[in-house]
Structure 1
Amino acid sequence: MRLAAWSFAALCLLPIVAVVVTAFGADGGRWAALIDTVLPGYVWNTLQLVVWVALGTGLLGTGTAWLVTNCRFPGQRIFEFALAMPLAFPAYVLAYAYTNLLDHPGPVQSALRTVFNLGPRDYWFPEIRSLGGAAAMLTFVLYPYVYLLARTAFLQQSASAYQAARMLGRSPWGAFRSVSLPMARPAIVAGVTLALMETIADFGTVAHFNVQTFATGIYRAWFAMGDRGMATQLALWLLAVAVLLAVIERMERGAAQRFPAGRKNDGMMPQQLSGIQAFAAIAFCALPVLVGFIIPAVMLLVMAVGSGQSLFTARYLGFVGNSITLAGLAAMVTVLGALLISYCARLSPGIAARSAKLLAGIGYAIPGGVIAVGLLVPFAGFDNWLDAFSREQFGYSTGLLFTGSIGLLIVAYVVRFMAAALGAVDAGLANIKPSLDEAARSLGRTEVGMLKTIHIPLLSGSLLTALLIVFVDVMKELPATLIMRPFNFDTLAVQAYRLASDERLEQAAVPSLVIVAIGLVPVILLCRAIANDAARPARSPALGATVTRPR
């Protein structure tokens, strides 16, 4: 069992090692060529995206979380759930919808020209296919990361410090700024960091808007130029940024592990808003819901109806089947690996087990394109060596056994999403008392027997949550799938990207809608879980309790 756990951890580390070794083993002249040509543009564009997305997600996520948690206004209970719904949209799907809506031939600009009798060059309109447009798409899709974590932090805060600030003469805004916001800072920073990790890993949105970033550069170097050395060197730069963000998130998570919450039954008294304040709160909460979910969902529905395509054709059923097959297999393998790693860490909580868990969870900070390059380089080399050896010794060509196979693609998903599964499984194991393990061992149960008869039944909810999260993440994943998929084996995400790349946005709406519909399921379940957890502490009379931020 321990060998299997370490094997999963080593598998998650393999792409990183491969990228580093290949990048430094490539032609040294490429480093200078990169610095003199494309690298400054990639760095500048990626930096701009990071800054704008950080500001946008931080403002929207924190502001809406505070309003729905500690204020009361019309529609507040609806917004609690609705504000998380944009998380179901992949950013590239949102980009397809708004390109169709706001581009020059779209309905908005066409209506402006008709109403005001304008020619094509008689007016100025913001360009959606730009870096600013990409930043906006990413912001409205990723702010729920901050919203969910910030709302959890606000719900778990005691009212004592806030009320003391109010008694000392602070206004509601002053008390929020000086008391509640600093207490929630670790959760907010962690949410922003998660959003930034998704930003630097994004390929579909920036490629559709023709914004040159590290993600697009890796894909172009690998496929358009056939230069694996340049692709791995670009991947190494991106990996460095991703690891830096991962370190920041880890430090913030460590700071947020435990903090005093005062009396658990000392809940915050919500502030009743009325008049202009209530209107402003409704407008601020409605904006991201409208822009991030309702408008694009309506646009996709209209586009899908007018596309003349049906999900029930053999071709589209094949895309759906391929997507479900990959997502289902990847989810089962990933959750199995997470269960083994977490269980072994529980049995032997030493430095080796902690190291294995850390190595296995590092993949969440690595973009899919980097993982794809890191896996293709060693496995392609092994395939070529095996084929040459077989030809020389036996006169038989083995072909490509791993490269371009479903198995290797599933390995990429396991590496990318192991951390998500580990978080859910760890949370479940933390709720199982160690005394159960001791009682089972005293009755003669083996480690495998305990896992089968005690832990798996008690972890059924956590395992189901992990399966659902990984399943949906794989359904939305694009860069690794685009690079590593087998020949003539397309998924809904790949089909949507291909149609959008050909400017066939109406046809791209059909697979995009299916991805969004599936993504709504875990979002709704997650919101319900947060609401249930928030209600639980209010019934506890414990004093001096500490709160742990959920992962």
Structure 2
Amino acid sequence: MADFAHLTVVRKPKSNWLKVSAILIAAILALPILVVLVNVLIGDGDVWHHLYQTVLAEYISNSLLLMLGVGIGVLVIGVPCAWLTSMCDFRGRAFLSWALLLPMAVPAYIIAYTYTGVLDFAGPVQTFIRDMTDWRYGEYWFFEVRSLGGAVVMLTLVLYPYVYLMSRAAFLEQSENTLEVSRTLGYSGRAAFFKLALPLARPAIVTGLSLALMETLADYGTVQYFSVNTFTTGILRTFYGFGDVAAASQLAGVLLMFVTALILLERYSRHRIRYHASGLKKASNRRMKLKGGRAFLASVFCWLPICVGFLIPVSVLAFWAMFKAEMPGTNFIQLAWNSFYLAAMASLIVVSLALVLSYAIRLNNGRSVKASVGIAGLGYALPGTIIAIGTIVPLAWLDHRIIDLVTYYSGEKIGLVFSGTLFALLFAYTVRFMAVSLGAVQNGLGKIKPSMDMAGRSLGMSPFKVLARIHIPLLKGSVLTAMLIVFVDVLKELPATLVLRPFNFNTLAVRAFELASDERLVDAAPASLMIVLVGLVPVILLSRSISSNTGRSR
């Protein structure tokens, strides 16, 4: 009995250092948000008053219209495609079920550059129309790509997979009994969709819609290139043009209100997810067989977003890169190395901190640790512009204090230590993408039985040794997945990189943006294509994960 009591005491983890570490990490990662909020309160208001009288109404209206258009677009594409691939059976369904994720690999600003080069006045489509009809400019109507409507289309094409993923998961989880009840009530397939399946999947659909709208608010490359004035373009214009951090922070504060509303909407939708049925036979085991014209229309409807959102832009980029763009030289190799180095460093830092936070909540499931992990994951919901401004302000203040201190004691002048260096970029990336890594690591840890911890503790291992020798080897898949997703997200990140990069330091994303801004769309193709090809990797992993989780239900 005494030995057993002793064993029980040994098993109890002494993990106060993890609790303190989690709280400290969360406090540091929350710093950019706090800086923005403080600057909103202390601004003198002159520039803000000017913005209020001139462009603020345009920022609000354009942002709302952009959200409305993208919201409708992703719902119209994502929900029907999810229903068709999960509840119906037609030729090519298995391939289409994962191929519909492919547009996620294409950043919105790259698809915007590509379609501008194809559909603009000097592009091949309008040139062909003029050659065939002898029409001149102004004698025919053609869709204006560089417009608010164009931005809505471009963002919709790459963001609908968020709604598709969530909706499809919800439809697959619905029980066969639900559809059987609809048949006994005399519902057709359409009636069953609108009266039963859709209401049951509504929380998941709202979650996907919220994620798509957060990405819409965070977009900078597309709206800037199309000259659509939104909060993201206004924040950077105020920051660079007026040099007023407080006014830029005040704009960021208004944008933060939009983001907060979306977060609350998403949390509410997850709260209501309990309405889904579970533990019953899946509906996808008895799909509705589509034949003839219905099967053809279903196939066309699912193929259309894949072609327009992935196959066409990637084909155009490949053609430009191989046959029209300038041959990449040593400068391109340097850009690729810069991007790879930054992404690799950021993924290592983010995943390491995610391991600490996830393990802390596993051992200390108290309110303070839960709150800390929740705060640490807020950055993904915030646009890169907000995080960039919230990062540069405290780091610049710290640099000036260090410079003053060194100058006072030694008389020597030193350069910037934190701001204007890669440290600032890596810190912003950590804040922005911590939630992505936390989700993957926590999911992996949740699959490890608590008895493994107890076994390690009974052998006299400290919590750190249990993590290093037991959990991390078992978490290889989850850790590698998290690192890869963060790697690709950093590779695509544009606004934070534009604000925080050191002088004379470029990445593939920045170079593509600069060339496109100079109307050198063809020359931007190699960098753009490289980003897209690397972005395919997590999409393939995601599709494989869905396949393994749903098994035959796919």
The alpha-carbon deviation at position 258 of structure 1 amounts to: 7.6
Deviation at 1:267, TM superposition (A): 4.5
**Separation in structure 2 between the aligned mates of residue 266 and residue 39 of structure 1, nearest angstrom:** 49
Aligned pairs for 1:33-432 (under 5 A) are 33-256=50-273, 259-264=276-281, 267-311=284-328, 313-432=329-448
* Residues 162 and 176 in structure 1, CA contact (< 8 A), matched pair in contact too: no
Shift of 1:537: 8.1
For structure 1, the residue ranges without an aligned partner over 5 or more in a row are 539-551
Residue pair 1:478, 1:493 contacting (<8 A) in 2 also: yes
Amino acid paired to 2:410: F
Deviations 1:326-363 (A, max 9, x none): 10000010011111001000001010110111100111
Contact (CA 8 Å) 1:476, 1:493: kept in 2 or not? yes
Q: How far 1:262 moved relative to its partner?
A: 4.3
- Aligned 8 A contact 1:363 1:415 in 2: yes
Partner of 1:542: none
The amino acid across from 1:494 in the alignment is V
1:285-340 residue CA offsets vs partner (Å, 9 max, x unmatched): 111011100111111112222334234x2110100000010100000100111110
1:26-74, CA deviations, whole angstroms, 9 ceiling, x for partnerless residues? 1133443322111100000000000011111112111101111111112
Structure 2 CA distance for aligned equivalents of residues 50 and 521 of structure 1: 28
Q: CA deviation at 1:159?
A: 1.1
| Secondary structure of residue in 2 paired with 1:397 | coil
Contact 1:406 1:486 in 2 (8 A): yes
Give the structure 2 partner of residue 502 of structure 1: 518
Q: 8 Å contact 1:158–1:268 — kept in the other structure?
A: no
Q: Tell me by how many angstroms 1:255 deviates.
A: 2.6
Aligned residue among 487, 491, 494 for 2:503:
487
Q: CA RMSD in A?
A: 1.5
Q: 2:486 aligns with which of 454, 465, 470?
A: 470
Identity of aligned residues (%): 47
- Preserved contact between residue 156 and residue 534 of structure 1 (Cα < 8 Å): no
Deviation track 1:384-431 (CA, whole Å, cap 9, x = no partner) reads 232233333432222211111111100100000000001001111111
Pick one of 13, 21, 30 that aligns with 1:13.
30
Residues 431-442 of structure 1 mapped to structure 2, 5 A cutoff: 431-442=447-458
From the superposition, tell whether residues 484 and 209 of structure 1 become closer, same or farther in structure 2 (CA, over 3 Å): same
CA distance in 2, matches of 1:306, 1:96: 17
Q: Is the 8 A contact 1:160 1:262 kept in 2?
A: no
CA distances 1:183-242 after superposition (whole Å, capped 9, x unpaired): 211111111111111100000000110000000011111123322222111111111211
Q: Secondary structure at the match of 1:237?
A: helix
Partner secondary structure for residue 256 of structure 1: helix
Preserved contact between residue 45 and residue 247 of structure 2 (Cα < 8 Å): no
Q: Displacement, 1:129?
A: 0.1
**Conserved in 2, the CA contact under 8 Å of 1:101 and 1:107?**
yes
Could you say what secondary structure the match of 2:324 adopts? coil
AA partner of residue 526 (structure 2): V
Q: Alignment partner of 1:215: what SS?
A: helix
Q: Return the alpha-carbon distance in structure 1 between the equivalents of residues 357 and 63 of structure 2.
A: 34
CA separation of 1:209 and 1:381: change in aligned 2, threshold 3 A: same
Q: How many angstroms does 1:260 deviate by?
A: 2.8
Q: Deviations over 1:475-521 (max 9, x none)?
A: 11000001101111100000000000000000011100000000001
Q: TM-score normalised to the size of structure 1?
A: 0.95
Structure 2: gaps (5+ residues): 1-16
Q: Deviations over 1:104-129 (max 9, x none)?
A: 00000000001111111211111000
Is the alpha carbon distance of 1:89 and 1:354 closer, same or farther for their aligned partners in structure 2, counting shifts above 3 Å? same
1:371 maps to a residue whose letter is I
Say if 1:53 and 1:80 are closer, same or farther in 2 by CA, change over 3 A: same
CA distance in 1, matches of 2:367, 2:296: 54
Return the alpha-carbon distance in structure 2 between the equivalents of residues 99 and 259 of structure 1: 43
- AA at the equivalent of 1:377: V
Deviation string, structure 1 residues 166-193 (Cα, Å, up to 9, x no partner): 1111111111111111221111111111
Residues paired across the two proteins, number: 537
SS of aligned partner of 1:41 = helix
**What does residue range 439-454 of structure 1 map to in structure 2 within 5 Å?**
439-454=455-470
Letter in 2 for 1:261: S
- Pairwise CA distance, 1:536: 7.3
**Within 2, Cα distance between the matches of 1:266 and 1:185?**
17
2:6 is matched with none
Match of 1:543 in 2: none
- How many angstroms apart in 1 are the aligned matches of 2:313 and 2:145? 14
1:461 aligns with 2:477: yes
CA distance in 1, matches of 2:290, 2:152: 32
CA distance in 2, matches of 1:142, 1:526: 15
> Within 1, Cα distance between the matches of 2:350 and 2:501?
18
Is the CA contact (8 Å cut-off) linking 1:264 and 1:537 kept in structure 2? no
Aligned residue number for residue 3 of structure 2: none
Structure 1 Cα separation of the partners of residues 298 and 508 of structure 2: 37
Q: Please say if residues 200 and 275 of structure 2, whose CA atoms lie closer than 8 Å, have aligned partners that are also in contact.
A: no
On the 8 A contact 2:336/2:508 being kept in 1, the answer is yes
